[in-house]
């Protein structure tokens, strides 16, 4: 059973980074609709924590779908992470250089595939630099390691399950997008998608979960933002990335069994036959 805090401090990592079982993963991901000059991989290439490999959620993804960075099957996932030197018996620390998005997504993906000993570096690369951690720009040469996938299907939901959850009100559905996208007042960044929300869901923007330094808020500060966290919960967002940030926050509050709707709003709103609610929850 997973317990404790899903995040570690930069000071903890500095004190433990030399341990033979610790693997550091840079999961920096830049949303493509931001039209930034650099990709997450380029940022990693320019500067990363010593020994950190780069996990690209747009490369380690399911094929045969137009939906972005969908969870791959366990065979493909195991093959790709093995080549990164990530495997059984590792203590994995994931970080990123942009708002915790990629780190939380990779944290969730590894847990779906059955790896329990995975944490997120609170505050990302900047927190590491702030405690005097060294950086490098040389890519590491990882040694391939066996990864045994034991899929936890309870941590991921598909659209059929979401329809049932929405209609049957069996779960609290938490939407991590901005409030104005949730209410339908602002357009979606992905062209052609209407805004609004899955009927029955509530709005808790992922931007509310971190403080000014980019670190996640404490459990005491997070608790008032959510409804009853002991009941079954599903998180959703635009494409399944910031939903993982919400799942990370809920794990900090003690609920490690939160599911993420992988296709999220990109999938739900792409079919005009699915109901879309607007306004407040």
237 part of the active site: yes
Closest among 87, 114, 102, 88 to 28, alpha carbons compared = 102
Closest among 191, 236, 268, 258 to 6, alpha carbons compared = 258
Cβ 235 vs Cβ 244: under 8 Å: yes
**Exposure class string for 205-227: b at 16+ Cβ within 10 A, else e:** bbebbbeeebbbeeeeebeeebe
Q: Of these residues, 43, 103, 118, 237, which one is catalytic?
A: 237
Residues designated catalytic:
237
């Amino acid at each position: 059973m997973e317990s404790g805090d899903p995040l570690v401090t930069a000071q903890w990592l500095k004190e433990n980074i030399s341990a033979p079982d610790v693997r550091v993963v840079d999961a920096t991901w830049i949303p493509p609709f931001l039209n930034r000059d650099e990709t997450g991989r380029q940022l990693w290439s320019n500067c990363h924590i010593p020994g950190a490999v780069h996990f690209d959620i747009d490369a380690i993804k399911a094929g045969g779908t137009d939906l972005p960075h969908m969870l791959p099957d366990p065979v493909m996932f195991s093959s790709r992470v093995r080549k990164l030197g990530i495997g059984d018996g590792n203590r994995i620390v994931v970080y990123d250089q942009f708002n915790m998005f990629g780190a939380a997504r990779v944290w969730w993906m590894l847990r779906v595939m059955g790896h329990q000993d995975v944490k997120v570096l609170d505050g990302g690369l900047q927190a590491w630099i702030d405690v005097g951690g060294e950086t490098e720009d040389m890519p590491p040469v990882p040694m391939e390691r066996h990864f045994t996938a034991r899929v936890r299907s309870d941590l991921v939901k598909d659209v059929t399950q979401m329809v049932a959850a929405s209609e049957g009100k069996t779960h609290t559905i938490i939407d991590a997008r901005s409030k104005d996208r949730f209410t339908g007042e602002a357009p979606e960044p992905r062209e052609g998608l209407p805004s609004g929300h899955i009927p029955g869901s509530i709005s808790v923007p992922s931007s509310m979960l971190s403080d000014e330094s980019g670190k996640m808020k404490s459990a005491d500060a997070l608790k008032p933002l959510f409804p009853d966290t002991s009941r079954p919960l599903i998180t959703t967002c635009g494409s399944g990335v910031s939903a993982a940030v919400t799942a990370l926050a809920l794990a900090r509050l003690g609920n490690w069994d939160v599911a993420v709707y992988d296709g999220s709003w990109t999938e739900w709103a792409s079919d005009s036959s699915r109901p879309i609610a607007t306004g407040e929850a």
